[in-house]
Structure 1
Amino acid sequence: MVGLPLAEMVLRKTGTGLDNAAALVQHLGLVVALFGAVAAERHGHLATLGSDFGASLAGPRVMQVLGKGGAALICGVLAWAAAQFVQAERQGAMVLAYGLPVWWVQASLPAGFALLGLQLAAHCFGPGPWRRVLAPLIPLAGALAAAWGEGQALPWIPALGVLMVLLVMGTPIFAVLGGLAVALFWSEGLPLASVPLSHYQITVNPSLPALPLFTLAGLLLARTDAAQRVGRCLTATFGAGPLGTVLAVALLCSAFTAFTGGSGVTILALGGLLLPLLMQSGYPERKGIGLVTSASALGVLLAPSVPMILVAILVKVPIRDMFLAGLLPALVMVASLLFFGGFWRLGRRGEAPAVPASFPQRPPLGAALWAAKWELAAPVVALSAMLGGWATPTEAAALTAAYALLTTVGIHRELDARALGRCLGDCAQIIGGVMLILGMALALTNFLVDAGIPDLAVEQVPQWLPNRYAFLVALCAFLCVAAALMEIYAAIVVLVPLLLPLAQHYGLDPLHFGILFLAAMEAGFLCPPAGMNVYFAAALFKKPLPYVAKAVGPALMAIFLGTVLLALLPPLATALPHWMAG
C-alpha cells in the first residue's frame, strides 16, 4: 500500500502511470482491513463496551459465551449476506486492473466474516477435540437464519433488546452495530446484502487508504525515541520549569495523538516518560495524571488525524481544507484545557508537589532542534504534499509512511526487522478493528437516512431551537453526551450524516460543523463507558479508576467550554482554509 501510491506519483510526472492504481490501493486496503480484523480478534483487540458489570451479572464464563457467541452468530449472518453481495457483483464481470476481476477481491468479505465467526465461536468452548467440530455450528446457524429470513419483514425491537444485552456481555461493537443494521433491514424486508455493501463502499472510498498509511507512520514514530527528541525540543523552547513543562506536555501529547491515531497509544507510549518529568518540575501527581490523560485526547483536531480524515469524507470537503481548519481550533482547545481546566496552575494553595521541585537543566535550543529535525519535518512532508497540489491525500499518506520508515529504520536505526514486523501487524489490527466499526455503522446510517430521519430533524428541531445560537449550544451539549456513550468512529459515521443537514439548515459551514463535531468528541475519550483514556491511564499509572476520573474531571468542563467557544466563533475554523483557497 505504500509502494503503489509512490510509484503512481513518480510515474505521473513522466506522463505514464499504473493501470487503475487508486482502485488497486483501495481494494488492497479492503483485504488488509478484513484480515487485520481477524488478527485483532485473535489478540483480543476488537473494541467492546463490556465491563465488570456484565461479569458481575452473569459471571465471567457466561459473559464470554454470550458475548463471543452472539458475535459469532452475527458474523455468520454477515458472511451469508456478503456472499450474496459477491454473487451479484460476479454477474457484473467488472475488472479491477490487469485482468483481475473485482469479485475476486470482494470475496474477502464473506471469507473474513466467516473466519471472524469461527474465531469468536471458539471462545465458547473449552479446549479439546470437540472444539473444532462445534465452533463452526454457531456462525453456520447465523448463515442459515439469514437465508431463512431474507425478504421477510421481521420485528426489530426484540432484536434491539437482545443486542443491548450482548453489548453489556462484551460483544464487539462492530457486531452490535452490524446486528442492529441487519435487524432494521430485516424489518423492512430489504436485502441483507446492503450491509456488506456499505462496508465495501466505505472501505474502498478513494480517501480511506490514507487512514492505514498515516497510522503506520505514527506507529513507526511511536516505537522509537522520536517522542523524547521532540520533548527535549519543546522543553528547550518553553523552559524546564513547571509552566514550560506543562505546555510542552500538552503540545507533545496532542501532536503524538494526531500521528498515532489513538489517544490510548499516546498515554501508553508517553505516560511513563511525561509524568515523572512533570513531577520533577514540581507538578502534583494527580494533576499530572489528569494533564497527560486529557491532553492525549486533543490530537483529533491536528493533521493527519484519522478521525479528521473520516469527517472530511463524510461532510464532503477536501481533506487538506479540513486539516487547515483544525489548526487554530487545536490551539484553542489546548489553551482551554490549560486555563479553564486549571492545569496551568501548579496546584491548590498549600498543596505540595509529589516530590521536591528539582528543575532539570534546560537543553540548548539549537542542539535540541537539530536532534529532532527528522521528526519535526514529518508533518511538513504530509501537509506540503497535499497543499502543494502534487499529491493526493493517499499519496501524501504513503509519502509520510515512507518518510517515517526511512528515518526510523535507515537514519536512526531504532527499528530492526522484528520491530518493523510488529508495527506492520499492529497497524493492520488497528485499521481492521476500526474499519469493521465504520462499515457496520455506515450500514446503520444508510438505513436511517433512507428512512428520512435527517429530513424529519430539519422539520422538527427548528420548532424547539428557533435560532442559530440556541442550536449551537444544544449541539455542543448533545455531542459531548454522545461522545461519552459511543465509540468515536461509530459516532462519526452514524451522527455526522444525520446532523449535517440540520446544521446546514442553520447556516453552518460544513468545515465549521466538522470541527465542532471533532472538538466535542474529545470529551468522549475521557468519559466512561466509551472513553478509554481513563482505563489506559488507570492501568499505566496503577491508580484506581475513580482517582483518574477525578483527575480528568476539570478537563471535561474545559473541553465543553472550548467547544462552545469554537461554536460561537466560526472564523476560528473557516478563516484559514478560505484564505488559502483565495
Structure 2
Amino acid sequence: MPLLRRLGGLDEVFASAALVLMTLIPLAEMALRPLLGEGIVNAPVLVQHLGLVLAMAGALLAERGGHLSTLGTGLSHSHNPSLRRGAQLVAQGGGAFLAGLLAWASTEFVLSEREAGRILAYGIPVWSIQAAMPLGFALLGLRLGRHCCRTPGLGLLAGAGLTGLGIVVAHLFAESAGLPLPLLPAVVALVLMLLAGTPIFAVLGGLALALFWAEGQPLASVPLSHYQITVNPSLPALPLFTLAGLVFARSSAAGRLGQLFTACFGSGTTGTAIAAAMLCSCFTAFTGGSGVTILALGGLLLPLLKDAGMPERRGISLVTSASALGVLLAPSVPLIMYAIIARVPINTMFLAGLLPALVMVGFLVLVGGYLRPVPGAPRATAPRASAAEIARLAWAARWEILAPGVAIGALASGLATPTESAALTAAYALLTQAIAHRELSPALLRRCLADCAQVIGGVMLILGMALGLTNYLVDAGIPDAAVEWVQATLPNRFAFLAALNVFLFAAGALMEIYAAIVVLVPLLLPVAQSYGIHPVHFGVIFLAVMEMGFLCPPAGMNIFFASAMFGKPIREVAVSVLPALLAIFLGALVIAWVPWLSTGLPGVVGG
C-alpha cells in the first residue's frame, strides 16, 4: 500500500508540472519573439496540450481530495445508514462503470489518432499526449470504485472490476457494430446515479455515450469533444488566471485590499457594506470561484460588518451573495468560458461586463437591504480614514491594485494573446507575493498549484463531457427546433427576455455554471439571435442570471461554503440570501432590457 500511496501522488506532480510549463512557455515566447524573431516551435499548441495533461491529472487530484462535483442531494449523507450506504454504492460504483466506458471510448479515439501520425513539436507525437485521457479515465474509475468497499484491498478489486465491466460493455458495442441500447432505462439509471451522488462529469459523459450509442454512432465522439475543448486556443487562460487568483487568496493580499476598501468607503454600516460587496466581487473575478472568496474573505469581512452595526445574519448574507457577483468582471473564468463557446473576443467580453457588474452590485446593496440601518445596533466608532491613511493603505496594496491592469492591459494592447496575458498575470502574482511581500513559501506555492489543478481538473471534465452532449444535440437539430418553438410561443423580444431570465434561474439552481455554459449557450444563443439580441448582450444576461445559481441549492455552492465557513446551518444561510436573490434577479432584468449597458462600452472602445 505505501507504493500505491506514492503512485497516487503522481497526479499532483504531473498537474503541477503542466501548470508551471503552461506559465513558462508563453513567457519565453513573449521574450524570444522580439529578440530572435521567432519563439518556441508550436508554443501555443504545446501549451494547449499541456492543458489536457492538467485536466486529467487535476481531475485525479480532485477525486483524491473529494472535490469532484456532484449534484449534492444529500442521499449520500442521509441519517439512515442503509440509505446512505446504498447511495454510496450506486454513486461510486456507477461512476466507476461510466469511467470504464469513457476509458474505452478514449482508447478508440487515441488509436485512430495514432494512425494519423501527427507530430506536436520536437518529434512528440500528438497521440502520446492524448493517451492521458484513457489512462486518466481508467484511474478515475479505479479510485471511484474502491469506495464501494471499506477494506482497501477489496476496494481496489471492486474498482478494477467495475471499471473493467465498463470497458467490456463498450468493447461489446464496438465489436457488435451497433448493439442496440434501450435508451429510456439507460437515462433512468443515469438520473438515479446523479441523485445518489455520482460525479456530474460521469453522468454527463454517460448520457452523451448513451445517445451516440442509441444512434449507432462511434463512442469516440465523446472523448473527441473533450479533447477539442481542452486544447481550445483560449482555454489555457483559465488555469493561469485561476492560479494568479489563488496566489492572491492564499497570501495576505485579501487583508491589504480589505483595509483599503474599508478606508475608501468608510467604516459605518453603509461604507463597510459597499466595501464588502465591491471587494468580494473583485476577488471572485480573480480567483475564479466565489467559494474561494468566501473562504479567503469571510473571516475578515464578517467581523468588520458586525462592528459597523450590521447583524451577523445579514453580514453572512452579504458576503455569501456578493461573492457571486464577480462572474461579470475580468478576468472571470465563466466570462472567458462564454467568450470561447460563443466565439466572441475575450477582450470584448471583459469590457462588456464592467457596467453590468456595477449595476448588479448596486442592486444587491440597495434592493437587498444591506444599507438599511438597524435600530439599536452598535455603530462603528472609528473615524473616517484621512487621505494620507488611504494613500498609505493603497501603497501597501499597490501590487494587488495593479494586477487587473496587468491582466487586461496586456490583452487590450495587443501585445499578448489571451494565454500570454494569463501567463503574465500568473507570473506577476507569483513574483509580487514571493519577492515584494515575501509571503509565498514553497509549501504555499505547492498548495496553490494543487488547488488550481483540482479546480481546473474538475471543471474541465464537466466541460468536455457537456460538450459531447451538446454536439449530439446540435447534430440532432435541437437548436433549430428550439428557435421555431420559442418564436411560435413568445410573441416578442421582451417576453422572450422575461422567460429567459426565469429559465436560467432554474437552470442555475440545478447545474454548475460551467456545465450550463457549455450545454445551454449553443442551444439558447441561436434563439436569442433570432430575436435580434447581440451575442455579447446575451452573454452578459446569461452570466448575470446564472449568478443566482450560486445561491440556490442544490447546485448553489456558496450556500455550502458559507455554512462551513461561518458554522451556520445550511437552511439558515439559504434563508438569509433570499433578499439578495430578489435583488440580483431585478438587476438581471434591467441588464436584459437595457442592451447599452452591455454593448455600449465595447462599442465605444472598439469604435
TM over 0.5: yes
Amino acid at match of 2:24: G
**Aligned counterpart, 1:140:** 164
Distance 2:539 2:153 in 1: 52
Partner SS for 1:59: helix
Amino acid at match of 1:133: L
**Aligned counterpart, 1:272:** 299
1:258–1:299 Cα contact (<8 Å) kept: yes
Pick from 343, 347, 361 the counterpart of residue 370 of structure 2: 343
Partner SS for 1:389: coil
1:121–1:135 Cα contact (<8 Å) kept: yes
Distance 1:133 1:172 in 2: 20
* CA-CA distance at 1:43 after TM superposition: 1.0
Pick from 441, 455, 466 the counterpart of residue 491 of structure 2: 466
**Aligned counterpart, 1:43:** 65
| 1:482-523 CA-partner distances (Å, limit 9, x unpaired) | 101111111110000000100110001110000000001000
2:72–2:555 Cα contact (<8 Å) kept: no
**Aligned counterpart, 1:87:** 111
Alignment of 1:86-105 (within 5 A): 86-105=110-129
**Aligned counterpart, 1:16:** 38
**Aligned counterpart, 2:241:** 214
Distance 1:130 1:430 in 2: 30
| 1:344-368 CA-partner distances (Å, limit 9, x unpaired) | 2134xx4x43xx3233344411101
Distance 1:290 1:530 in 2: 17
Partner SS for 1:130: helix
1:326–1:515 Cα contact (<8 Å) kept: yes
Amino acid at match of 1:359: T
**Aligned counterpart, 2:11:** none
1:154–1:189 Cα contact (<8 Å) kept: no
**Aligned counterpart, 1:122:** 146
Residue identity over aligned pairs, in percent, reads 62
**Aligned counterpart, 1:526:** 551
Query: Which sits farther off after the overlay, 237-246 or 326-335?
Result: 237-246
**Aligned counterpart, 2:132:** 108
**Aligned counterpart, 2:26:** 5
Pick from 169, 176, 181 the counterpart of residue 154 of structure 1: 181
Distance 2:390 2:557 in 1: 36
**Aligned counterpart, 1:451:** 476
Distance 1:302 1:258 in 2: 5
Distance 1:577 1:80 in 2: 45
Distance 2:72 2:317 in 1: 24
Distance 2:371 2:230 in 1: 42
Distance 1:62 1:550 in 2: 31
Alignment of 1:548-563 (within 5 A): 548-563=573-588
- Match status 1:508 vs 2:530: no
TM-score norm. by structure 2 comes to 0.94
Partner SS for 1:357: coil
Amino acid at match of 1:237: C
2:76–2:88 Cα contact (<8 Å) kept: no
Amino acid at match of 1:476: N
Partner SS for 1:334: helix
Query: Which sits farther off after the overlay, 156-165 or 519-528?
Result: 156-165
Pick from 357, 379, 382 the counterpart of residue 357 of structure 1: 379
* CA-CA distance at 1:64 after TM superposition: 1.5
1:50–1:171 Cα contact (<8 Å) kept: no
Distance 2:155 2:569 in 1: 38
Distance 2:520 2:533 in 1: 16
* CA-CA distance at 1:60 after TM superposition: 2.2
* CA-CA distance at 1:128 after TM superposition: 4.5
| 1:260-295 CA-partner distances (Å, limit 9, x unpaired) | 111011111111110110000111111111100000
Partner SS for 1:136: helix
TM-score norm. by structure 1 comes to 0.97
- Match status 1:304 vs 2:325: no
Amino acid at match of 2:66: G
**Aligned counterpart, 2:438:** 413
**Aligned counterpart, 1:492:** 517
1:281–1:357 Cα contact (<8 Å) kept: yes
1:300–1:307 Cα contact (<8 Å) kept: yes
Partner SS for 1:135: helix
Amino acid at match of 1:31: V
* CA-CA distance at 1:55 after TM superposition: 4.4
Structure 2 gap segments, 5+ residues each: 1-21
* CA-CA distance at 1:130 after TM superposition: 3.3
Alignment of 1:221-240 (within 5 A): 221-240=248-267
Alignment of 1:253-402 (within 5 A): 253-347=280-374, 350=375, 352-353=376-377, 356-363=378-385, 364-402=389-427
1:258–1:301 Cα contact (<8 Å) kept: yes
2:365–2:371 Cα contact (<8 Å) kept: yes
**Aligned counterpart, 2:4:** none
Structure 1 gap segments, 5+ residues each: none
Distance 1:477 1:129, change over 3 A: closer
1:54–1:168 Cα contact (<8 Å) kept: no
Query: Which sits farther off after the overlay, 64-73 or 125-134?
Result: 125-134
Instruction: State how many pairs are aligned.
Output: 577
2:146–2:154 Cα contact (<8 Å) kept: no
Distance 1:282 1:524 in 2: 29
Alignment of 1:134-213 (within 5 A): 134-150=158-174, 151-213=178-240
